[in-house]
Amino acid sequence: MLKSCIIYNPAAGRGQARHFISAARRSLGITADLWTTTQPQQAETLAKQAAHSGYHRVIAAGGDGTVHEVANGLLDSGQSDIVLGVLPIGSMNDYAAALGIDAEAIRRGQKPTTEIITVDVGIARAGNRERFFVNGLGIGFNGMVTIESRKILGLRGLPLYSLALFQAMIRHFAHPNWEMILDNRRIRSPSLALSVNLGIREGGFQVTPRAELSDGWFDYLHATTLTRWELLRFVPALITGTIPKNHPRIHTGQCRTARVLSDSPLCVHADGELLCVPEDRICEVTVTLIPGRLRVEAIPRHARTRQADHAMNQVPASSVAIQRP
């Protein structure tokens, strides 16, 4: 049995974190020490400490922010054999979804079959800042959506990020000139946003629906001069993962490195955590893929595929009523 610890924020899940963890430990049969955070960014320090204290599995109990911190602690520890586990208690849980971890199933007492897999990670550099990320990175408008999401109280999940998207459309809709280098391809264009992802979802939206965590590639989506109305009409496609492939102002593909130079300061998030904001006056960010860098506990791939198909079928008709262009 893997020697395990659970790192969690007691305020996560609107204060229900400890109750959820207790239920999960019973239903999943997890024997693990509980390590509680008491201040921001402490999960990263605790994860690094756990990696150097003989733990074989470190479980991040929280949302994507907690996962991001714990993953950075493990990756920075130099211990390559530690397994990252995830108990989703956050507002969105995009990485848990990529791993096939279903919070509702855990609450119902269902014990999923899991396996340990090796996945890719990314590393982002902006100014003198450097962070690993495990799910995705967003530049430009996507970062502003992250900022807006932190101002909203009382909402979780897709409703939270949908409202944040609409607020960012009103307050932060711009198309600065970017020079982008995706591997060896150079692009110069006014740009709204760039997503560079390992997972499928970003803020609950299926931005890169064909992404795989361990295929050795980032999947990207580059939005150029979309209007507000065009973006609004794309919301149903972002929910269902059916973004058109032939739109002249939306470009998708794969890369292993990305570099963005902007004529105005950038806003960048990594796994939903802000790497830089416009006030930092950073105009350049580089992103590099590190293949097979992290071991994680996940639902087997065939079961994850069935879950994704089921989730697609559960999207309410009312949420996709806007016609796509």
Can you tell me whether residue 178 is helix, strand or coil? strand
Question: Token pair of 35, please?
Answer: 């390590």
The structure's pTM equals: 0.90
Give the pLDDT score at 212. Answer: 97
Alpha helices in 87-213 (DSSP H): 94-99, 103-107, 141-149, 157-171
Selecting from 3.40.1440.60, 3.30.479.30, 1.25.50.10, 2.60.200.40, what CATH number does the domain 123-291 have? Answer: 2.60.200.40
In this prediction, residue 106 carries a pLDDT of: 78
Question: In the prediction, which pLDDT does 109 show?
Answer: 74
**What distance in Å separates the CA atoms of residue 294 and residue 307, rounded to the nearest whole number?**
23
Contacts of 83 (CB under 8 A, 6+ apart): 2, 56, 57, 58, 116, 295, 296, 297
Q: Quick check: 315 pLDDT over 50? A: no
Pair of tokens at residue 95: 């990485």
Q: What is the pLDDT of residue 205?
A: 96
Residue, of 37 and 107, whose pLDDT is higher: 37
Alpha helices, DSSP H only, in the chain? 17-28, 42-51, 64-77, 94-99, 103-107, 141-149, 157-171, 228-240, 301-313
Interatomic CA distance for residues 116 and 296, integer angstroms: 6
pLDDT of 80 > 50? The answer is yes
Phi and psi angles of residue 43, each rounded to the nearest 5 degrees, phi first: -60, -35
pLDDT digits (tens, 9 = 90+) for 285-311: 999 999 999 999 999 986 666 555 555
Average pLDDT over residues 35-52: 94
Using only C-alpha atoms, the chain has a radius of gyration, in whole angstroms, of 19
Higher pLDDT, 322 or 255: 255
pLDDT score, position 307: 55
Residue 113: per-residue pLDDT: 85
Flag whether pLDDT at 15 surpasses 50: yes
Is the pLDDT score of 318 beyond 60? Answer: no
More confident residue, 190 or 11: 190
Locate 51 and state its tokens.
């990696």
Q: Does residue 238 surpass a pLDDT of 70? A: yes
Would you state the pLDDT for residue 75?
A: 97
The pLDDT value recorded for residue 193 is 98
Instruction: Calculate what percentage of the chain has a pLDDT beyond 90.
Output: 73
CATH number of 4-120+292-320: 3.40.50.10330
- Beta bridge partners, 85, equal 59
Q: What integer is the mean pLDDT of 246-259?
A: 96
pLDDT at 111: 75
Q: What is the DSSP string of 45-70?
A: HHHHHHHTTT-SEEEEEESHHHHHHH
Element counts in the chain: helices (H) and strands (E):
9, 16
Whether the per-residue pLDDT at 250 is higher than 80: the answer is yes
Residue 154 has a pLDDT of 86
- pLDDT for position 304: 65
What value does the mean pLDDT take over residues 10-30? 74
What are the pLDDT digits (tens) for 145-194?
A: 999 999 998 888 899 999 999 999 999 999 999 999 999 999 999 999 99
Which of the two residues, 49 and 106, has the higher pLDDT score? 49
Domain boundaries, the chain: 4-120+292-320, 123-291
The pLDDT tens digits of the residues spanning 193-215 come to 999 999 999 999 999 999 999 99
